[in-house]
Amino acid sequence: MPLFINPCGEHEVAVLGAPQGSAHMTTTVINMPRDISVPDHVVWSLFNTLFMNFCCLGFIAFAYSVKSRDRKMVGDITGAQAFASTAKCLNIWALIFNIILTIGAIKAPPTWSFLPLCPREM
């Protein structure tokens, strides 16, 4: 048995091995990826899809956002950034078109008029 010197004096320390009759222990190492923040714009795309879906730009942006989130979950950061960039561009265009349409709808006078329920007699 090895002897270890302690400042207070010598003590014997027994070196114990692995427990007898135990199963072989294995270890698993999981490499966690770095936290790279890739915004996928899912919420913005969902908003554009539900409330302002001009020419289906919101729906297409939502599809690209979901693709970006899938690529991020797989670990393909470059692919996730590419899909997120496309989704962001589509969301910006959808927002611009919808702001213009909203302002146009507020400013433009109505071109139709209410028809009377009973025709007038002459």
pTM, full prediction: 0.60
Please give, one letter per residue, the 3-state secondary structure of 8-63.
CEEEECCCCCCCCCCCCCCCCCCCCCCCCCCCCCHHHHHHHHHHCCHHHHHHHHHH
Contact 39, 82 (CB under 8 A): no
Question: What average pLDDT does this structure show over 7-14?
Answer: 56
What is the per-residue pLDDT across 68-108, written as a single tens digit (0 to 9) for each? Answer: 999 999 989 999 999 999 999 999 999 999 999 888 888 87
pLDDT over 70 at 12, yes or no: no
What is the per-residue pLDDT across 15-56, written as a single tens digit (0 to 9) for each? Answer: 565 556 566 778 887 776 666 678 889 999 999 988 878 788
